Amino acid sequence: MLFRRFRKTRASADVKGADPLAQGAQSIYGAAKKERWPLTHIAEQSGRPIYWFAESMLRVVSVFGRRPDEAEFVCLTRELISGHTLVEDMSALVAPDPASPRFIDLRVSKLEQTRYSDWARTVQ
């Protein structure tokens, strides 16, 4: 299964020192190209490989975000982000219904980036 999800870890404390999702995805894409991961081809076929890796990271590892009116970060589970769309600059998730929650300031820790890389290297 291509998008097997790792078990979610920890809580909002993981956000300290975490990179913006776009930066994490760029780093992952750089490693993928350098190491010639099979996923690189899929990502490049999308026409937006960094965006592709950001969306993939949302499905595979723990990514954090917060609602605009709250200071606390939450781990973005599949249930929370179901139906949401990642914006072009990868900084927020928006729902089709304006009354639904929106998540901003998306972050991914170095540990989760490492976990994603470890997972991605196993995908054939």
Query: What number of helices (H) and strands (E) belong to the chain?
Result: 5, 6
Q: What pLDDT does residue 13 have? A: 53
- Give pLDDT tens digits along the chain (124 positions): 333 444 444 444 568 889 999 999 999 999 999 999 999 999 999 999 999 999 999 999 999 999 999 999 999 998 888 889 999 999 999 988 877 779 999 999 999 999 999 999 998 8
| Local structure of 66: helix, strand or coil | strand
Residue 117 and residue 25 in contact, taking contact as beta carbons nearer than 8 Å: no
- Provide the whole-model pTM: 0.85
